Structure 1
Amino acid sequence: MASDLMSIARSGVQAARIGLDVTAQNIANASSEGYVRRSVSLAEVASTGGAYRVGDLSLSGVRLDGITRNADAFRQAEVRRTGSDVARATSEVSGLRNIESAIEQSGVYDAIVGFEASLQRLTQDPVDTSLRASVIEKARTMVGTFQIAAQEMDAAGEGMQFLASDGVTQTNRIAQELARTNTRLSRASDASSDKTALLDQRDKLLQQLSEYGNIATTFATDGTVAVKLGGATGPDLVTGGTAATLAMTTATNGTISFSVGTSALTLSGGSLSGNQLGLNKLAQLKLDVDGLAEDIVDKFNQAQGTGADLDGAPGAPMFSGTTAAGMQLSVENVRKLATAPLGSLAGSRDSGNLTNIRNTMSALNPASGMDQILFDVSGTLAGRNVTLGALQTIAGTAKVALSAQSGVDLDAEAVSLIRYQQAFQASGKVMQTASDIFDTLLGIG
């Protein structure tokens, strides 16, 4: 019996030591990114028959049944999905915020209002040189602000394109790492600690990849994963030990598109999708601003051409250009403003054509047009901010659920540490008792 006690106690000591080792590993990696908590699974050592044993009663101790990696595939998929949505919304909001700043800080709206106000003041005395000079300067300011707005919007677009390009680079790097991890997983044995670490590495890489684009995953029995980029119907990015290459194409209007190999890619999540959406909105707003600038040039020049300047000559075009960036002031001489009707004598105080110019600008209402552009981007940004807040709440809930299941809880690990320590000490006490019994029996003999 003493020898049985000794073997049972020895198995208990070994099991408790393994439990202590695993608990210590969990505590040590409590702050390690991507680490999944391990737990020990113990099982009775089954045996039947033998001296002093009745029926199928087993008195053979305990054994390690396995070390479980407490990963939940569903919760991990939810964290990847919600995280991808947050990354998309965050990138889009950031881009829209830069676009809004580019348009607002350029001062186009105020410059348009100032230009129209200078035309109103000129009606007091159409031949007053200082009032005419004010119109020219306000026109110059307006042209300058349109150019600044175009430059700032281009800078915002270049920033989003740079982020998207870097995202493509990072996506390809992660895909290559996943392919290498797949290769190593296919070679690792099921019970090896190396495989457990590789599985942690695999899940960490999948989480990182989902930050750039929405993905669909298929896991094999050996732990390897196949990844489709863009969802379940998207092209294959990682298959076994092979990774495809993600590419980005920039169109002439600044928008971007993606492809994997020869397959076009449509993304609905991740920062790459957010950058793409931001650039699409920027392209639309640039068309709006360019259209407004072109309308001002065309309408004002048309009205200017129906009048006579202070020298009695037909009004020359005051502006040129068809875009905000190309808008230019063509008239510098204050005498060239055609305030009088066509055919008027030099120095005429008749403001008939000035009234025509003001009516034309009033009908065009460029200030309202610029206000609508600002409202468009501001309203879109406000809506996306609301969406981002909701997505962050959902993603936070998913992370908490995953952490509760697979993360390391130091309080729980402290309890396990004490439990295994007590089991270790108790098994040691059993071994000591078995030794004493064995010595007593030898002494009797």
Structure 2
Amino acid sequence: MASDLLTIGAAGAKAARAALDVTAHNIANASTEGYIRRTARLEELAGRGTFPYTSDISLSGARVGSIHRNADAFRQAEVRRTGSDLARSDKDLAALREVEAALEDTAIFDSVVEFEAALQQLSNDPVDPALRAVALARADAMAGKFNIAAQGLDASVDGLHFDARSDVARANGIGAELARVNVGLSRAANGSTDKAALLDRRDLLLSELSTHADSTAEFAGDGTVTVRLGGAGGAVFVAGNVAGTLEMAVAADDTLSFAVNGAAIAVTGGRLAGAQTGVVSANSFRARLDTLADGIVQTVNDAQGAGVDLTGGAGQPIFAGSGAAGMRMVLPDGSRIAAAAAGAPASSRDGTNLLALRQAVATLDPAGGMNLLLFDASALVAARTLSNEALGTIASSAKIVLQQQAGVDLDTEAANLIRFQQAFQASSRAMQVASDLFDTLIGIR
């Protein structure tokens, strides 16, 4: 026969040792990010006998046919999709919380209430210089609060721009690395450990890319991947050994747009999509804050211009500028508050125009407007928080399912160690038996 017990035992021992090596490799990489559990696939070695015993079966043992990765393309795609949704939600929620903080922490609502209270106190004694000074101080403080809130919203938008640029740079880095991995995959032998390591790296990069922007992956038979950004119909970002360039543009209104090699894409997932919606939300609240500030400036100045101050002169504007960022108090001193009606003499105790000013402010209701603005911001944060928690649960579940299928289970690997060790020992025993038989045959006279 073309094979014998010694050859079979040696092949079995070699295959068992290779399986032990794979098991040990799994255990060593149990905590390695992106590692997919390997399995040694054993194949039977068998063939026909040689001439003149061609009808005999030649049993030759076993060998390791390939190193298999326990990867599941569907589960991996689910992890990428849910991770992309969660990354978008995380970024959007973080932006909304910054908007909420910019509006709440500056205490604009309190400053508006204090300004209205100062006007009411002044109506008790319209010529009191201390009350006039307090009213102007409250007006100046209110304008300052609006300025700070506007600066906070601007800083939030600037932060979103900065983070988005970082995400774009990292996405381009991932694209370049995926192109290099594609080159390695096209050259690596199927079933080899080198190819398995490259496939792990490919999948890890795809997962990270999905946290920056929604992407779709198309896999070739050799493991190389073609990546599109912006959904299944988006622009090709990686193809073969060529990686495109993701670009970001900032419009005059601070909104963001993206393109791959000049072709516009609609980003709906990942941190970049969250940055887009975050800027839109910040702009919306900024516009409402500007409207409120402009309303106060217009209302107060109109009422002020209808009366006369303590010098008998026509009332001058208390505020100047436009928008929350430009609002400022410009009246030089408290004596210039036009509390009296037009035509009243200097130092008049008449408070008719001050009453009209208070009524105009009450009609505008800036405190109510600011309260509504704060309520809308808080409600939006609360709603997005619930959505974020749900997306987090979904993404976590997808990761757990993938980990159960593709991750390393130390209990299973420990059992494999015992199983393959016993197989190795049994094959070694077979070789020992073959040696004993050979010695017995030699000893026959």
Give the TM-score of the pair, scaled to structure 2: 0.96
Structure 2 residue matching 1:238: 3-state secondary structure: strand
Number of the residue aligned with 1:125: 125
Contact 1:108-1:146 within 8 A present in 2 as well: yes
- Structure 2 distance, partners of 1:346, 1:27, is 92
Number of the residue aligned with 1:69: 69
- Structure 2 distance, partners of 1:205, 1:427, is 41
Number of the residue aligned with 2:352: 352
Number of the residue aligned with 1:405: 405
Structure 2 residue matching 1:156: 3-state secondary structure: helix
In the alignment, structure 1 residue 235 sits paired with structure 2 residue 229 = no
Residue 424 (structure 1) shift: 0.3
Residue 191 (structure 1) shift: 3.6
Deviates more, 1:170-179 or 1:243-252: 243-252
- Structure 2 distance, partners of 1:239, 1:341, is 77
Deviates more, 1:108-117 or 1:376-385: 376-385
Residue 282 (structure 1) shift: 0.5
Contact 1:3-1:434 within 8 A present in 2 as well: no
Number of the residue aligned with 1:142: 142
Residue 50 (structure 1) shift: 7.0
- Structure 2 distance, partners of 1:251, 1:29, is 46
What one-letter code is carried by the residue in structure 1 that aligns with 2:384?
R
| Aligned residues: CA RMSD | 1.9
Residue 144 (structure 1) shift: 0.7
What one-letter code is carried by the residue in structure 1 that aligns with 2:286?
K
Structure 2 residue matching 1:41: 3-state secondary structure: strand
Number of the residue aligned with 1:421: 421
What one-letter code is carried by the residue in structure 1 that aligns with 2:408?
V
What one-letter code is carried by the residue in structure 2 that aligns with 1:434?
A
Residue 274 (structure 1) shift: 0.8
Contact 1:320-1:327 within 8 A present in 2 as well: yes
Contact 1:136-1:332 within 8 A present in 2 as well: no
Number of the residue aligned with 1:101: 101
- Structure 2 distance, partners of 1:265, 1:142, is 43
What one-letter code is carried by the residue in structure 2 that aligns with 1:33?
E
Structure 1 residue matching 2:233: 3-state secondary structure: coil
Number of the residue aligned with 2:164: 164
Gaps of 5+ in 1: none
- Structure 2 distance, partners of 1:177, 1:387, is 33
Residue 2 (structure 1) shift: 12
Number of the residue aligned with 1:248: 248
What one-letter code is carried by the residue in structure 2 that aligns with 1:90?
D
Residue 49 (structure 1) shift: 5.3
Seq. identity, %: 50
Structure 1 residue matching 2:63: 3-state secondary structure: strand
Residues 247-292 of structure 1: per-residue CA shift (max 9 Å, x gap): 1111222221111122112111111111111111001111111111
Structure 2 residue matching 1:310: 3-state secondary structure: coil
Q: 1:384 to 1:346 in 2, by over 3 A?
A: same
- Structure 1 distance, partners of 2:72, 2:285, is 44
What one-letter code is carried by the residue in structure 2 that aligns with 1:95?
A
- Structure 2 distance, partners of 1:241, 1:64, is 31
Number of the residue aligned with 1:276: 276
Q: 1:134 to 1:371 in 2, by over 3 A?
A: same
- Structure 1 distance, partners of 2:333, 2:61, is 105
Number of the residue aligned with 1:373: 373
Contact 1:178-1:202 within 8 A present in 2 as well: yes
Number of the residue aligned with 1:319: 319
Contact 2:146-2:293 within 8 A present in 1 as well: yes
Structure 1 residue matching 2:324: 3-state secondary structure: coil
Residue 56 (structure 1) shift: 8.0
- Structure 1 distance, partners of 2:228, 2:58, is 51
Number of the residue aligned with 2:435: 435
What one-letter code is carried by the residue in structure 1 that aligns with 2:273?
S
- Structure 2 distance, partners of 1:362, 1:432, is 102
Residues 66-87 of structure 1: per-residue CA shift (max 9 Å, x gap): 2111111101101111111111
- Structure 1 distance, partners of 2:2, 2:297, is 105
Matched residues, number: 445
Residue 21 (structure 1) shift: 0.8
- Structure 2 distance, partners of 1:244, 1:47, is 51
Contact 1:2-1:435 within 8 A present in 2 as well: no
In the alignment, structure 1 residue 307 sits paired with structure 2 residue 307 = yes
Residue 186 (structure 1) shift: 1.5
What one-letter code is carried by the residue in structure 1 that aligns with 2:271?
S
Number of the residue aligned with 2:47: 47
Number of the residue aligned with 1:290: 290
- Structure 1 distance, partners of 2:54, 2:405, is 42
Q: 1:383 to 1:110 in 2, by over 3 A?
A: same
Deviates more, 1:184-193 or 1:137-146: 184-193
Residues 170-229 of structure 1: per-residue CA shift (max 9 Å, x gap): 011111111111122122222432222111111111011011011011001111100011
Residue 48 (structure 1) shift: 4.2
Number of the residue aligned with 1:329: 329
Gaps of 5+ in 2: none
Contact 1:2-1:434 within 8 A present in 2 as well: no
Structure 2 residue matching 1:61: 3-state secondary structure: strand
- Structure 2 distance, partners of 1:212, 1:256, is 14
Structure 2 residue matching 1:368: 3-state secondary structure: helix
Residue 233 (structure 1) shift: 1.4
- Structure 2 distance, partners of 1:67, 1:181, is 19
Deviates more, 1:415-424 or 1:251-260: 251-260
Residue 46 (structure 1) shift: 2.8
Residue 307 (structure 1) shift: 1.1
What one-letter code is carried by the residue in structure 2 that aligns with 1:399?
K
Residue 95 (structure 1) shift: 1.3
Contact 2:3-2:59 within 8 A present in 1 as well: no
Give every structure 1 segment of 4 or more consecutive aligned residues whose post-TM-superposition deviation is greater than 6 Å: 53-58
Number of the residue aligned with 2:198: 198
Contact 2:238-2:244 within 8 A present in 1 as well: yes
Q: 1:3 to 1:284 in 2, by over 3 A?
A: closer
